[in-house]
């Protein structure tokens, strides 16, 4: 079944079927394009239309005859293709382009164009392949080999060709590139009955001719722009790759350190000693740790997504809802952390101190031995596990066996007695609480058989661990008291203890010292060089 259309050619009425109509319409439109820049275009078109009417009239067998494609093609055969029209009526002033085109219709010579429909970089290889009549793949391989064996200089040749050789833009260019004769049939074949494109082609040709020079320069900058664009694209991809890598490693690292190590209980981890750091309820503490985890991992995931986006602009992550959820989680985490931070700061608002003094039993007639109780001894001596044991153990594993917060100074006493003074400080949200924390500091020390045993660390109640507690002890010795400093206490000693040798604390161990004239005098040191 075929639709019939009524047409009016030069005031004469004809029935024509749809396909035939389409061909005729296409033919007339292409003719119109051909004569676009010819003087008296309307006259010519009228004449042609009239002639078609006349030819139709001759073929019309009866009044209701419907013209079919064969009829129309026959008529077109008689009239000729648009190209023939031009070759027959070539105006001297008509442009070079038409000259070239007429030559091509009869000669079908090829022209070197870049084939941008089939390209890897600039379409030079495929264009050259069309020109030489070989397969583009072989041409690409050949160019690649040439580039490799010329150590890249051939690449410059490529770039020059890329810039200089025009791109096959119009259908006519594409046909000429492949050496096919440019006539309506071929164009029709080429662009599959797309009438719009046929008219485009003639328009393009016309415009090409009018602004060849302009186009040339535009082409160059267009190429440059294109080249820079692809360069940036590659650069972007490399940056994206780096970002993805960093983000991925960050995620893995954070995840491992956070979960596998702390939560699953491997000791010595970064977080373990601080697992109860926050002076809050247990539930909130857990929330805070989750928030810390999220606050780091979400930006890392975001970075990962960004990197992926760099590599592939169409990559999508989590969807819109998912993204909002994640953003919400992050903001929530930040909120929780700020509450925790404010809370934490409040815990250290006040600092209070507390003094106590203990009189030592050792008399100047005896030598006082100063020793530190080492951890193992403490534990073995105290079979009952104290409330802070876990903490102490972890704490020491982490910081070593000595607590920075325990200090010992040695000073002369003007009274004839040996004194041990304890000065403790602690922080708290209120002054009285801070005072209480300072008083609550439990310190293990012992004096037995003229030996003063000092604990290198503090014993704290489990709920009072993080109160910035510190202990400064001062040992007041009376004139003439002899003291032996064991090496175990060295780390507890204050940095400067007045002595006649000008020793720093690290050298004061394992020596006998005598309190004399407000300073310690070494009794068994190698004498200082006499001046």
Partner 1 sequence: MNIENTTAQMRKGVLEFCILSLIAKEDLYTTEILNALKEGEMLVVEGTIYPLLTRLKNADLLSYRWEESTSGPPRKYYAITPNGELFLAELQNAWKTLNQAVKKITTHKKKVNHE
**Residues engaged in binding partner 1 (CB under 8 A):** 9-12, 31, 35, 38-40, 43-44, 47-48, 50-51, 53-54, 57, 77-82, 84-91, 106-107
Checking DSSP bridges between strand 470-478 and strand 406-413, what pairing results, if any? parallel
Q: In angstroms, what is the minimal distance from the CB of 73 to partner 1?
A: 13
Smaller CB separation from partner 1, 12 or 442: 12
Q: In angstroms, what is the minimal distance from the CB of 8 to partner 1?
A: 11
Q: In angstroms, what is the minimal distance from the CB of 30 to partner 1?
A: 11
Smaller CB separation from partner 1, 18 or 43: 43
Q: State residue 355 phi and psi, 5-degree precision.
A: -110, 140
Cβ atoms of 124 and 175 within 8 Å: the answer is no
Checking DSSP bridges between strand 511-516 and strand 367-372, what pairing results, if any? unpaired
Q: Which of 28, 24, 44 is nearest to 88 (CA)?
A: 44
Q: Which long-range contacts (CB under 8 A, 24 or more apart) does 238-242 make?
A: 239/307, 239/310, 240/306, 240/307, 240/308, 240/309, 240/310, 240/311, 241/307, 241/310, 241/311, 242/307
Give the helix/strand (H/E) hosting 428. Answer: strand 419-428
Whether the CA torsion 62, 66, 70, 72 is positive or negative: it is positive
Smaller CB separation from partner 1, 53 or 410: 53
Cβ atoms of 443 and 458 within 8 Å: the answer is yes
Helix, strand, coil % over all residues of the chain, rounded to 5:
55, 15, 30
Smaller CB separation from partner 1, 85 or 348: 85
Q: Which of 188, 200, 203 is nearest to 69 (CA)?
A: 188
Q: In angstroms, what is the minimal distance from the CB of 42 to partner 1?
A: 9
Query: DSSP string of 434-477?
Result: HHHHHHH-B--EEEETTEEEE-SS-B--GGGS-S--EEEEEEEE
Smaller CB separation from partner 1, 25 or 401: 25
CB atoms within 10 A of CB 288: 21
Cβ atoms of 115 and 97 within 8 Å: the answer is no
Q: In angstroms, what is the minimal distance from the CB of 233 to partner 1?
A: 48
Half-sphere exposure of 215 (CA within 13 A, CB side): 14
Q: In angstroms, what is the minimal distance from the CB of 131 to partner 1?
A: 21
Q: In angstroms, what is the minimal distance from the CB of 57 to partner 1?
A: 5
Smaller CB separation from partner 1, 48 or 291: 48
Smaller CB separation from partner 1, 53 or 420: 53
Smaller CB separation from partner 1, 53 or 408: 53
Q: How far is Cα 138 from Cα 135, in angstroms, rounded to an integer? A: 6
Q: In angstroms, what is the minimal distance from the CB of 67 to partner 1?
A: 15
Smaller CB separation from partner 1, 84 or 353: 84
Q: In angstroms, what is the minimal distance from the CB of 97 to partner 1?
A: 17
Q: In angstroms, what is the minimal distance from the CB of 172 to partner 1?
A: 19
Q: In angstroms, what is the minimal distance from the CB of 105 to partner 1?
A: 10
Q: In angstroms, what is the minimal distance from the CB of 196 to partner 1?
A: 23
Q: Which of 424, 439, 409, 399 is nearest to 274 (CA)?
A: 399
Q: State residue 504 phi and psi, 5-degree precision.
A: -80, 170
Taking each continuous run of H as one helix and of E as one strand, the counts in the chain are 17, 13
Smaller CB separation from partner 1, 89 or 231: 89
Cβ atoms of 172 and 180 within 8 Å: the answer is no
Smaller CB separation from partner 1, 87 or 442: 87
Whether the CA torsion 220, 221, 227, 230 is positive or negative: it is negative
Smaller CB separation from partner 1, 84 or 478: 84
Q: In angstroms, what is the minimal distance from the CB of 204 to partner 1?
A: 21
Smaller CB separation from partner 1, 40 or 322: 40
CB atoms within 10 A of CB 436: 16
Whether the CA torsion 480, 481, 485, 489 is positive or negative: it is negative
């Amino acid at each position: 079944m075929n639709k019939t259309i009524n047409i009016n050619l030069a005031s004469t009425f004809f029935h024509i079927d749809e396909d035939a109509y389409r061909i005729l319409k296409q033919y007339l439109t292409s003719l119109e394009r051909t004569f676009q820049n010819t003087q008296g275009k309307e006259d010519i078109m009228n004449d042609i239309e009239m002639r078609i009417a006349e030819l139709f009239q001759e073929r019309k067998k009866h009044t209701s005859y419907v013209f079919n494609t064969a009829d129309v093609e026959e008529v077109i055969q008689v009239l000729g293709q648009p190209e023939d029209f031009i070759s027959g009526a070539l105006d001297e002033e008509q442009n070079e382009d038409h000259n070239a085109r007429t030559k091509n219709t009869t000669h079908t010579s090829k022209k070197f164009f870049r084939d941008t429909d089939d390209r890897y970089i600039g379409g030079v290889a495929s264009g050259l392949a069309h020109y030489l009549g070989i397969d583009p793949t072989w041409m690409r391989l050949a160019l690649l080999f040439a580039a490799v064996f010329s150590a890249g200089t051939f690449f410059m040749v490529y770039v020059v060709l890329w810039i200089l050789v025009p791109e096959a833009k119009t259908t006519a260019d594409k046909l000429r590139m492949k050496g096919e004769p440019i006539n309506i049939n071929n164009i029709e074949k080429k662009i599959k009955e797309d009438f719009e494109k046929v008219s485009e082609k003639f328009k393009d040709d016309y415009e090409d001719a009018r602004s060849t020079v302009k186009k040339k320069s535009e082409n160059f900058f267009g190429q440059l722009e294109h080249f820079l664009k692809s360069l940036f694209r590659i650069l972007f991809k490399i940056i994206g790759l780096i970002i993805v890598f960093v983000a991925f490693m960050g995620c893995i690292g954070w995840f491992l350190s956070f979960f596998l190590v702390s939560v699953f209980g491997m000791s010595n981890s970064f977080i373990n000693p601080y697992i109860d750091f926050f002076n809050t309820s247990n539930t909130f503490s857990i929330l805070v740790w989750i928030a810390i985890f999220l606050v780091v991992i979400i930006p890392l995931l975001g970075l990962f997504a960004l990197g992926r986006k760099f590599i592939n602009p169409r990559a999508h992550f989590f969807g819109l809802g998912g993204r909002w959820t994640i953003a919400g989680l992050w903001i929530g985490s930040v909120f929780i952390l700020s509450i925790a931070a404010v809370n934490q700061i409040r815990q250290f608002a006040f600092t209070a101190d507390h003094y106590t003094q203990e009189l030592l039993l050792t008399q100047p007639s005896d030598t006082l031995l100063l020793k530190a109780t080492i951890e193992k001894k403490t534990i073995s001596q105290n079979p009952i596990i104290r409330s802070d044991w876990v903490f102490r153990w972890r704490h020491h594993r982490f910081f070593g066996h000595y607590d920075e917060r325990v200090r010992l100074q040695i000073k002369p006493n003007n009274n004839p007695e040996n004194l041990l003074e304890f000065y403790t400080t602690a922080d708290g949200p209120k002054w009285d609480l801070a005072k209480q924390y300072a008083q609550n500091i439990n310190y293990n020390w012992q004096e037995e058989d003229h030996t003063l045993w000092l604990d290198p660390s503090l014993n704290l109640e489990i709920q009072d661990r993080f109160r910035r507690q510190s202990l400064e002890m001062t040992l007041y010795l009376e004139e003439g008291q002899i003291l032996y400093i064991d090496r175990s206490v060295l780390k507890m000693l204050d940095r400067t203890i007045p002595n006649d040798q000008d020793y720093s604390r690290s050298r004061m161990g394992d020596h006998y010292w005598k309190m004399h004239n407000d300073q310690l005098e070494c009794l068994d040191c190698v004498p200082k060089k006499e001046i």
